[in-house]
Structure 1
Amino acid sequence: MTKNKLPQMHNVGIVVESLDEAISFFAELGLKLEGRSTVEGEWAGRVTGLGHQSVEIAMMVTPDGHSRLELSRFLTPSTIADHRKAPVNALGYLRVMFTVNDIDDTLKRLYKLEAELVGEVVRYEDLYRLCYIRGPGGLLIGLAEQLGNRSATDI
């Protein structure tokens, strides 16, 4: 392997208000809880630059085992900013998008967990049906149902 090649992406981190609600939501979407613990101590604060911290985390993994979400709920220090209601053209990290087998069934199940459709479900050519939803605590999540034989890397 070439030294400067990236072997894989490990996870995407999302700070949440309620870890239990976020775990339930992403489990309903199809992710599996890989582990849950509290991370604290001087070493953790050196990594994040926050100093002393105590963070409850849950690692969720996709069914294929290749992608993970690290859900974090800060006990100390408390959160200081809230970007959840930023519009889709705001700078910075925006959303996580998941491929689903049936977007209508997925929405029906997530509505029971208080998910809200942001705009509407739209069709992109003959390839995908797509939508954005607001999940637990207002998190922006994208859903994509593949219609054609091409993958997202083909477009």
Structure 2
Amino acid sequence: MTNQQSFGKYATIIALLGEEQAAQLLPDFKNYKVVSGKVGTMDLKKVISSVETAAKRNNVIDESVYRETHALYHAIIEAAEGVTRGKLSVGDIMRTVGLSFSVVRGRPYQEQTEGEWIAVCFYGTIGAPIRGKEHETLGLGINHI
């Protein structure tokens, strides 16, 4: 049975290993809406827009419903704060990121009145814009819709 303790874990496994392997490891999440992708940039706005675009194009969120876009935005920002160690800055301070990301939407609580939640996870590298000078990073954000 799925639960709130595994919701973020599922998003993280997708970012780390991909959707296919994550589904094999945690099959109870097969009815959740999922999208994953990659982004590399020195511009944090591009990271945000890449995740938003993927979620909208793959019907993980309904862009005409403000609360869904708003919930996604907050989950993205929370995950990005993990990647950037709380300083939402990348190119301004000469850092670049190469990230895999996942977005997962579903009902992680048994009580249906808890509603739907959305999780965003980033995994990849961050560092100076010089190949080989970056290090691994991971960020997870979860928000209610």
Name the larger-Rg structure.
1
Higher helix share: 2
Higher strand share: 1
> Which TM-score bucket, shorter chain as reference?
under 0.3
TM-score, scaled relative to structure 2? 0.24
TM-score, scaled relative to structure 1? 0.23
